[in-house]
Amino acid sequence: MNREQLVAEIKKKKSVLCVGLDTDLEKIPKHLFSSDDPMFEFNKAIIDATKDYTVAYKINTAFYEAQGVKGWVSLGKTLDYIPKDIFTIADAKRGDIGNTAEQYANTFFKTYPFDSVTVAPYMGKDSVQPFLQYAGNWAIVLGLTSNAGSADFQLQQCGEELLYEKVLKTVASWGNTGNLMFVIGATRKEQLQHIRQMLPDHFFLVPGVGAQGGDVDTVCQNAMNSDGGILINVSRGVIYVSSGTDFAERAGVAAAEYQKQMAAYL
């Protein structure tokens, strides 16, 4: 999905909601285990209930990889089931170089045809560049995260700027606003404002809303641009609202409420 198509979906649905499919077999409703593929049955129901309110789904590959071959099968079926007009993210945080990076790009853009994949930039340009060679696909590069450990490296001084600022500026020069996004944590409005000033036109994938303490209003007020320019990810706050047989219905209600909040800014 290219930038123009993504922006069109945002404006049509008046939403920047990204639903995270962090499907944990220990958390999904127990009645689903009577099916042959509980992960897929859960995801299918969540997608059916939320697809009218979301513009993106983020599949955290760790939850699927942990299940071995069956998990990869569930991942593939889930990806196939997502409507083609909804942006897809492989949250895999790959970060290697050379032909290894090329094979990771093949994995998530060809074998499993996601629109985008999250990438760790620690190894430099040759760890990101292979993901920028596919027309219509995106690398979503870790920029500033909201976990406590982000202070260990990202917030350290690097010459006259902080390390995360150097990373954002440098990586932005490797691609363009149609193939590079950045992961920007949602919990501090001053940082959201500052990063939006640094990168006025790039899309941001913004985790941290809901269970991690961020809120929609803060993100929209401080990071949104004229194209929307953000994808606000919510995982637990949508998919695990209920553990009963009404789990999908309750997820749909939660997604609709998030979309309503976002629509006020679009």
* CB-based contact 212:187 (threshold 8 Å): yes
Token pair 């944990």: residue:
24
Rounded to whole angstroms, the Cα distance separating 48 from 105 reads 28
Tokens 């993106």 locate to: 56
Contacts for 58 with CB less than 8 Å, ≥ 6 apart:
18, 19, 20, 21, 89, 91, 205, 233, 235
Asked whether 261 and 16 are in contact (CB, 8 A), the reply is: no
- Given the residues 93, 110, 125, 260, the one annotated as active site: 93
Structure tokens that stand for 109 in this block = 């853009």
Q: What are phi and psi of 198, to 5 degrees?
A: -65, -40
Q: Has 27 been annotated as catalytic? A: no
Question: In the numeric block, which tokens belong to residue 43?
Answer: 């995801």
| CA distance linking residue 93 with residue 131, whole number of Å | 12
Quick one: which of 107, 109, 127 has its CA closest to 119?
127
Neighbours of 169 (CB within 10 A): 12
The catalytic residues are 93
